[in-house]
Amino acid sequence: MSRPLYVARPLLPDISAFVNVLNEIWKSRVVTNSGPLHNKLEAEMQKYLNVPTAMLFNNGTMGLLVALKMFDFPAGSEIITTPLTFAATVHAIKWNGFEPVFADVDPDTLTIDPASVEKAITNKTAAILAVHVYGTVCDVNALQTIADKHNLKLIYDAAHVFGATINNRSIGSFGNASVFSFHATKLFNTIEGGLIATSDESDREKIYNLRNFGIKNEEEVVSIGLNGKMNELQAAVGLLNLPLVDEERSIRKALRIKYCELLKNIKGITLPPKQKKVVNSEQYFPVVINENIFGRSRDDVYDALKKKGIFARKYFHPICTDFLPYRTYRVVSVRDHSYVDEVKRRVLCLPFHSGVEQEDILDICREFSK
Ligand code: T4K
């Protein structure tokens, strides 16, 4: 058994392969600013994600900042998003000078609820920033219909869905832009990193400029850009990790099947949804623990696992509207009480990576059979 056992474990390449690449980088002294490894990884990403535009970033948060900047929304525009996400999603809205508006989540998928999104639209709404949370994909058709009907941009936070597909179509090709995170804890990682994917080749120049201070050429700065560039060391890790991703994903798929088999008959435990025609990214394995039926609370299970050296995580509790900067914001819902307030007390992400052994799963699941 592996102890301590964390919710995530970075996928890392063979150290000697990395040292070889480092030697090459040192020889060339090209360490950042669209170096050869960066450009190679960007080309590989375009192929892997099967999108015309795939632009690397130094982290997912910078990608989100740029994705929200690239459409020139007026200052003070409202962006509808989910409260069940990492803080970066909503911070990116505020950093751009826009107002987040929170819509409830769907009880089955825990992704943003399209009906609540529609209810949250006002004449200031410019976009929907939906999150494919845990690896579960949003209702992309319903969201696109709403976006088209109200003339809104549709941007996806795709931090959790690297390599996912819907009906064989790349997850990065939906909406106006999708932002991936390549943080160490993600299925595919460059230690820190991110990427914007879009279906429109003409977005490339705009994203390129915004990623590099708005610089167009040596004499022109054409937009209010930032420094979102991925360096050569990050790109080297990415190039070495990419061939390892599919195997990591199949190991996680087997873990998911095992978890589901062991937990499926336990009353009060809801497993992640099986989504038809979706290839899952296998990012997280969240369970929802209904204390009224199961007899124990999520926090109780979390504490008991922790005592054994198993560090599950309460992603995402607290939710964004519990954070100090957003406490005055309410969650728009088509229900009398927003579902997200219920789920935040109940959701728990269990360890989910190739370092989790069969005995670990048995040990974790025993905690649910008491
Ligand atoms: N949108 C969404 C929906 C996101 O989930 C995220 C990031 C973003 C946007 C922003 O993307 P980035 O700007 O980060 O690229 C972690 C990650 O830092 C964060 O990237 C991620 N979401 C979030 C869900 O999880 P923490 O605060 O939970 O990280 P930490 O350090 O507690 O790590 C979790 C566990 O992973 C640790 O208990 C042990 C293991 N771990 C972690 C690191 C960093 C390792 O074994 N090695 C490591 O180096 O946020």
For 326-364, the pLDDT digits (tens) are 999 999 999 999 999 999 999 999 999 999 999 999 999
Instruction: Count CB-CB contacts under 10 A for residue 81.
Output: 26
Pocket flag, ligand 1, residue 311 (CB < 6 Å): yes
Residue 176 Cα to ligand 1 midpoint, Å, equals 25
Find the helix packing angle between 60-69 and 87-95, rounded to 10°: 40
pLDDT at 119: 98
Separation of CA 184 and ligand 1 centre (Å): 7
Distance CA 333, CA 337 (A): 7
- With a 6 A CB cut-off, is 317 part of the ligand 1 pocket? no
- Over the range 37-49, which residues count as b (16 or more CB within 10 Å of their CB) and which as e? bbeebbebbbebb
Residue 2: per-residue pLDDT: 83
State the Cα torsion 271-341-114-256 to the nearest 10°: -20
Q: What is the pLDDT of residues 97-131, one digit of tens each?
A: 999 999 999 999 999 999 999 999 999 999 999 99
Residues of the chain with confidence (pLDDT) below 50: none
Locate 130 and state its tokens. 């939906």
Closest CA to 207 of 179, 170, 238, 188: 179
Q: How far is the CA of 87 from the centre of ligand 1 (A)?
A: 11
Task: List, edge to edge, every strand of the sheet that includes 165-166.
Answer: 169-170, 165-166, 278-279
- Please tell me the distance between residue 321's alpha carbon and the centre of ligand 1 in angstroms: 20
HSE toward the beta carbon, residue 17, CA cutoff 13 A: 10
User: Could you identify the atom of ligand 1 that is nearest to the CA of residue 85?
Assistant: 3
pTM of the predicted protein model: 0.98
Per-residue pLDDT, 352: 98
Write down the pLDDT at residue 370: 74
Q: Which residues pair with 348 in a beta bridge?
A: 287
> Tokens representing 19?
């040292």
How much is the pLDDT for 267?
97
The alpha carbon of 319 is separated from its chain's Cα centroid by a whole number of angstroms, namely: 15
DSSP letter for 86, please.
Answer: -
Closest C-alpha to 135, from 166, 113, 107, 93: 166
What CA–CA distance (Å, rounded) separates 64 from 323?
A: 19
pLDDT of residue 266: 97
